[in-house]
Structure 1
């Protein structure tokens, strides 16, 4: 790979992890732990840390994840086009029949791998060093970085900033880092040059549009504050509180029984997953100027794509006379496109190990043929957050395998705080005995044929 992501872009995040995984796949490489081959050296330390008391493990998680936070001055000086050039620079320079751009999504990453094409994210996370804002004080967090935000946005007029603050799932990281998620409203010169250089004449720009929305507070022009995030708790509960929130705050020693936050004044594209539609118009105008086609992949929520892509892979394997009887359940950034294909596994991506994701996975398993083998990854964010699915529930789900179901690299006794998960997951994939040659990429025509034969099964997904 020609270059890495700038330090001002978080590596421990959906968009960057998915870009790195897909780029490495297209270079013929696997996905290393946490997206960096150098992190393999941390595996012995993670094994030791996993045996420490829970409070110590939480402290380690907070330090490690929060260490990505950059000084405010660095964030204020970011050049979004230079960042875009670094993202595009990860991919092999060759001709592709399509380029995908838009929302972050694990199932979409597997679709891109199947097609053998790159994906350019609309949204990236810029981690800001945060030291004096308690996780349970969103009112204070909302305005903690106003000057830095204004400088960043004035320097980059094509960005919208979503300052995301989730004291439920991200409380350990929030001790040291604030989440500045920025969305592009224009392609910009770096993305335009990449597409022009690599897209085949008459090729397709596929726009991935997740319609997930969330209540926000406008702080300034192109500057929004979002309390909470997609996961185990609905948006309303973050602001209204309730017994679950009160119990959670009490367990973690916080004062009060709910979070005080600035009033929401709109619903906006969700900070991490939602698509900002202004980008679509710029893509369409660019494609028209250069003689490219455009298509839209539209879905309401992040996991709406997961059943579709799982069934696409299963159909694809059967077309190749492979067994298609092994389901690999991804979790957030725990996935590997190359090893998924090498082991002949069907990928089903879950955003997080939370109750809505568990319910969606159950619906998927109820809706089709059973699987002989289930392999379950569980991303560990370190805390027993509101809405997390329990180990007992995951064990029950694994019993649905006709032959064997197993946790993939996570210790049930240490979940949801198992620092070894990020290393154990990679090892778990390599213990799967099956090996198959990597296939030729799926064409858009083949995917369209698959969709024509099963359109009613995926009512939440639209191809336009």
Structure 2
């Protein structure tokens, strides 16, 4: 029976990409937001209000139970894992972009600033991988070895029908809370350029249009579980360091208690290999596939290597400011976005400078503060802190977010809906649209930036942040 399902998936009859790619995952949100912006539309239809938004005043066990039930309804079953067709997922990403030809393309790691960069260039962004969430019915947030065993079985089903994937399993109670004990997070990374992407590059790019690969260069301790399947405990987006996931870590005990676990059971697998690229990195074979295609097609290929999310966020914000001013606009109004709370079209429509925080961790907010402190002052600063829905010692408090807004000379605004119930509630992506729609219009929008000009500006402005553009 399993063989029949794989054959159906290979023929394009597997699960739809909309069902496979995790709801709320960064790649999914970015493709949806960029596709809409390239059509001249905002993100008003993105995201439903999460279940915990109605229970932010409830005890932690109640909120955890609600979140787990909600996640279970969207997670893949073990049988469905065998029906995943990565080729169909790639086609689903491609199909979200409007028809026509483009002056370039971005590919690679997910990053909110890449969405703003893509819209400024008038080009699409295609991810080098996608996130999935699968059921773990007898799971426990404090048993990473059991998570590895369960994930290995799921990865085996996935890889049997998708040998062109590498599956990275991430067990991170700091970023996922109780969900890490009820579901398994799997990041599928292409080990080559998918056929749908090849067709898109060949048919939808203008003659001579360049190709740009964005690479998240962060590393993390990785356990190579099997060929094509690797496992990591924790992740860079948690705001913690690898040492914080050691059994003796005080931070880990805090995280596990808030997620309903017990630090006494925490026994991660031994890491015997040097740290590898983290879950949002780009597989070397994917990179090689893009390079080979560009060489055969006679296209220029460029790389943007990102050491930390803040490096690209700062460089892109500086680029937007110069771009807006060159078009006769002030470039003095800033919006600080966070996580899923972004809307590239409304940012462009209002003539705003966007700075994107990967999440609500103290580390991300610290870096935003440092960038603001070293920048020419902004007349207004609007802040959209995305509540992560979990508690963690690594999270920034509301006073720190208020300090970010305090950099505005005349307007200082922290979104109240996002702050209500922070950090344990949730808000949909469309909340960013609702807030940004209140900004005054600043039309017409500037003419798109040329790819070569944008890369030169990122190279000059990003060097001080460690950004490598080549």
Q: Displacement, 1:396?
A: 2.5
Match of 1:74 among 62, 76, 80: 80
> Is the counterpart of residue 341 in structure 1 residue 348 in structure 2?
yes
Unaligned runs of 5+ in 1: none
> Is the counterpart of residue 235 in structure 1 residue 242 in structure 2?
yes
Cα distance in structure 2, aligned partners of 1:66 and 1:375: 35
Residues 254 and 11 of structure 1: is their aligned pair in 2 closer, same or farther, counting only changes over 3 Å?
Answer: closer
Cα distance in structure 1, aligned partners of 2:260 and 2:109: 36
> Is the counterpart of residue 438 in structure 1 residue 445 in structure 2?
yes
In structure 1, what is the equivalent of residue 278 of structure 2? 270
In structure 2, what is the equivalent of residue 400 of structure 1? 407
Answer yes or no: is the 8 Å Cα contact 1:249–1:257 preserved in 2: no
Answer yes or no: is the 8 Å Cα contact 1:135–1:175 preserved in 2: yes
Answer yes or no: is the 8 Å Cα contact 1:10–1:125 preserved in 2: yes
Cα distance in structure 1, aligned partners of 2:212 and 2:26: 19
Cα distance in structure 1, aligned partners of 2:20 and 2:233: 23
Unaligned runs of 5+ in 2: 1-15
In structure 2, what is the equivalent of residue 315 of structure 1? 322
In structure 2, what is the equivalent of residue 187 of structure 1? 193
Cα distance in structure 2, aligned partners of 1:72 and 1:456: 45
In structure 2, what is the equivalent of residue 223 of structure 1? 229
- Aligned residue runs from structure 1 range 314-393, under 5 A: 314-393=321-400
Answer yes or no: is the 8 Å Cα contact 2:52–2:63 preserved in 1: no
In structure 1, what is the equivalent of residue 6 of structure 2? none
In structure 1, what is the equivalent of residue 34 of structure 2? 22
In structure 1, what is the equivalent of residue 303 of structure 2? 296
Residues 29 and 413 of structure 1: is their aligned pair in 2 closer, same or farther, counting only changes over 3 Å?
Answer: closer
Answer yes or no: is the 8 Å Cα contact 1:249–1:258 preserved in 2: no
Cα distance in structure 1, aligned partners of 2:17 and 2:44: 15
In structure 2, what is the equivalent of residue 261 of structure 1? 268
Structure 2 length normalisation: TM-score?
Answer: 0.90
- Aligned residue runs from structure 1 range 444-463, under 5 A: 444-451=451-458, 454=461, 456-458=463-465, 460-463=466-469
Residues 197 and 98 of structure 1: is their aligned pair in 2 closer, same or farther, counting only changes over 3 Å?
Answer: same
1:169-199 deviations in Å (ceiling 9; x for gaps): 2023224321110111101211101111101
Answer yes or no: is the 8 Å Cα contact 1:215–1:264 preserved in 2: yes
Q: Displacement, 1:422?
A: 4.5
Answer yes or no: is the 8 Å Cα contact 1:241–1:258 preserved in 2: no
Q: Displacement, 1:244?
A: 2.2
Comparing 220-229 with 430-439, which one deviates more in the overlay?
Answer: 430-439
Answer yes or no: is the 8 Å Cα contact 1:409–1:423 preserved in 2: no
Residues 429 and 62 of structure 1: is their aligned pair in 2 closer, same or farther, counting only changes over 3 Å?
Answer: farther
SS at 1:127's partner residue? strand
> Is the counterpart of residue 98 in structure 1 residue 110 in structure 2?
no
Answer yes or no: is the 8 Å Cα contact 1:245–1:257 preserved in 2: no
Cα distance in structure 1, aligned partners of 2:266 and 2:128: 30
Q: Displacement, 1:463?
A: 1.4
Residues 137 and 47 of structure 1: is their aligned pair in 2 closer, same or farther, counting only changes over 3 Å?
Answer: closer
Q: How many pairs are equivalent? A: 453
Cα distance in structure 1, aligned partners of 2:18 and 2:53: 29
Match of 1:139 among 142, 145, 148: 145
Cα distance in structure 2, aligned partners of 1:242 and 1:449: 44
In structure 1, what is the equivalent of residue 8 of structure 2? none
Comparing 281-290 with 166-175, which one deviates more in the overlay?
Answer: 166-175
1:325-346 deviations in Å (ceiling 9; x for gaps): 1111111111000011111111
RMSD, matched Cα: 2.2
1:371-418 deviations in Å (ceiling 9; x for gaps): 121111122221211311111222223222211222235343510022
1:224-263 deviations in Å (ceiling 9; x for gaps): 0111112321122113542222233345553235732111
Cα distance in structure 2, aligned partners of 1:147 and 1:254: 23
- Aligned residue runs from structure 1 range 161-200, under 5 A: 161-200=167-206
Cα distance in structure 1, aligned partners of 2:168 and 2:201: 26
Match of 2:68 among 62, 71, 83: 62
Residues 59 and 376 of structure 1: is their aligned pair in 2 closer, same or farther, counting only changes over 3 Å?
Answer: farther
Answer yes or no: is the 8 Å Cα contact 2:386–2:426 preserved in 1: no
Structure 1 length normalisation: TM-score?
Answer: 0.91
Answer yes or no: is the 8 Å Cα contact 2:385–2:418 preserved in 1: no
Answer yes or no: is the 8 Å Cα contact 1:75–1:126 preserved in 2: no
SS at 1:113's partner residue? helix
